[in-house]
Amino acid sequence: MPVPLARAALIAGAVWIGGAAALVTSAEIDRRLHPLEYPLPYEMEGPADPAPSPDENSFGPVMPAPDEEPAI
């Protein structure tokens, strides 16, 4: 009795793994055939933020030091 149960468990496991692999492969094929409909995850984030100009930083305009005169 244990041999048929073990064989059934192995077959069920193989079928489950094969089904999971087929789903992954199917999704990969769809992504490669229709790249605009299925963008890569890092392409979905949008463009990177541009670098701040020398006169600004991430907190706003750069203020002159107290002992400097403002450049106009």
User: In whole angstroms, how far apart are CA 46 and each of 4, 18, 23, 38?
Assistant: 54, 35, 28, 14
- For the whole model, what pTM was predicted? 0.39
- The domain spans of the chain are 2-45
7-63: pLDDT as tens digits: 999 999 999 998 888 887 887 777 777 777 666 666 555 556 666 566 665 666 666
The mean pLDDT of 58-70, rounded to a whole number, is 67
Q: Which residues make beta-bridge pairs with 57?
A: 60
From the centroid of its chain, how far is CA 66? 45
51-63: pLDDT as tens digits: 656 666 566 666 6
